Amino acid sequence: MKLVRKWNCILQSKWTFLVPSLTGTFVFAVLPFLEVLRRSFWDDKEKFFSFINYGNLWENEAFRLAVKNTVKFVGVCIPLLLFLSLVFALGLFHSKWMKFLKSALLLPLAVPTAVVVFVWKLIFFKEGFFNMFLGLFSLKPVDWLGGEGAFFVLVISYIWKNMGYTMVLWLAAMADIPKEMLEAAEVDGSSGIQRIYYMVLPSLKPAFYTITIVSFLNSFKVFREAYLVAGSYPPKSMYLLQHLFNNWFVNLELGKISAGGVMMAGVFVLVTLLLQHMWDKSE
C-alpha cells in the first residue's frame, strides 16, 4: 500500500512531464555537442589541448569561399526578401482577395523541394524558359546553372519558398495595429500612402527586428535547393557551408567539422540571444 502511494506520488510529480523531453534533448543534442566542443580543441597528433583545428580552418580556402558565399547570400537575400514580402503584405492588408491570395503566395512553403527540382531545371537550363523569356528582349542566353548565374538561381528559389512565410509574419504584426486608429486617420482625410508611411510602418518596427533575425536563421536551409539543383559539387558561386561540411564528412575530417560547427554555433547562440532580448522587450 505504501509502495503504491509512493509510486503514485512519483507519477504525479511535475518532473514526469519534463523528464522524457529533457532526456531526449540531452542525449541527442547537448551531450554530443559538448563532445564535439571537446574535440574541436583536441589535437589528434599531439594528443593535447590546442587551437590547431581553428587555425586549419582559417587557412582552408574552401572554408573561406563557403563563408564568403554564405555571407553574400544572406546579404543579398534578406533585404530583398524583407522588402518584397512587406510590399505584398501591405497590398494584401486591404485587399478583398486576401484569403485567396495569401494561400497562393504561401503555397511554395508546402511544396517539397524535390518536387520542384525538375521544374527549376526546365526554367533555368540554358535552353529553358527563362532564357527564352530573355530572348524576347534579344538578350543572350546564359547558363544559369553553371558559373556565376547559379547564385542568382539560389536567390530566386530562396525568395520563392520563403516569401509567403515572411509575408504572414508581417501580416500578423499588422493585425496588431488598432483599426480605429487607421479609420480615424482616414476620416481626417489622410491618403493611403500617408497612413502607410506615418502609421503602419512605424508600428512595424519591433516586428522588423525579429523578422530579420528569423529570416537570417532560415536562410541556412537554402542548401536543399542548392544540392538538389546542382548536386554535391556545385559551381563555385553556389558553394555553401553545408557543401563543405558534407565533403569534410565524407573524408572524415572530423577535426575541421567540429571546429567549424562550434564556430557556427557561437554565431547562432549570439543571434538567438539577441532575438530573445527583442522578444522580451516587445512584451
Partner 1 sequence: MKEFMIIKVKKLRKICLRHLGDILLFLAALLVCFPILLLLTGVVKSSGELREGLAPILSKGEGGIHWNLLPLYPTGEHLLDILFFKPQFHVVFWNSMKITVCILAGQLFLASPMAWGFARFSFPGKKVFFTLYVILMLMPFQVMMLPSYLILNGMNLLDTHLAVILPAMCSTLPVFLMYQGFASIPKECIEAAQIDGADNWQVFFYLGVPLGSGGILSAMVLGYLEYWNMLEQPMTFLRTSAKYPLSLFLPQISMEQAGMVLAASLIMLIPAMFIFFAGQDYLEQGIAVSGLKG
Which of 49, 103, 186, 233 binds partner 1 (CB under 8 A)? It is 103
Could you say which residues in the range 115-154 bind partner 1, by CB under 8 A? 115-123, 125, 127-129, 131-132, 135
Binding of residue 195 to partner 1 (CB under 8 A):
no
Nearer to partner 1, 52 or 106 (CB): 106
Could you say which residues in the range 20-79 bind partner 1, by CB under 8 A? 20-22, 24-25, 27-33, 35-36
Interface segment toward partner 1; rule CB under 8 A; list 54-62, 144-152, 195-203, 273-281: 273-281
DSSP assignment of 9-49, as one string? HHHHSTHHHHHHHHHHHIIIIIHHHHHHHHHHTEETTTTEE
Which of 1, 3, 17, 193 binds partner 1 (CB under 8 A)? It is 17
Instruction: Single out the residue of 83, 105, 85, 77 nearest to residue 171, CA to CA.
Output: 85
Instruction: Single out the residue of 43, 38, 37, 67 nearest to residue 55, CA to CA.
Output: 43
Shortest Å distance, C-beta 238 to partner 1? 15
Nearer to partner 1, 55 or 135 (CB): 135
Which of 57, 77, 92, 155 binds partner 1 (CB under 8 A)? It is 92
Which of 44, 95, 178, 274 binds partner 1 (CB under 8 A)? It is 95
Q: What share of the chain is helix, strand, coil (3-state, %, to 5)?
A: 80, 0, 20
Exposed/middle/buried for 40, CB within 10 Å: 0-12, 13-18, 19+? buried
For the chain, give the number of residues. Answer: 283
Which of 53, 60, 113, 237 binds partner 1 (CB under 8 A)? It is 113
Binding of residue 7 to partner 1 (CB under 8 A):
no
d(C-alpha 61, C-alpha 48), whole Å = 26
Binding of residue 3 to partner 1 (CB under 8 A):
no
Could you say which residues in the range 207-226 bind partner 1, by CB under 8 A? 207, 210-211, 214, 217, 220-221, 223-224
- Answer positive or negative: Cα dihedral of 264, 270, 273, 279: negative
Residue 166 and residue 104 in contact, taking contact as beta carbons nearer than 8 Å:
no
Binding of residue 264 to partner 1 (CB under 8 A):
yes
Exposed e or buried b for every residue in 103-122, given b needs 16+ CB within 10 A? eebeebeeeebeebbeebee
Number of residues that bind partner 1 (CB under 8 A): 99
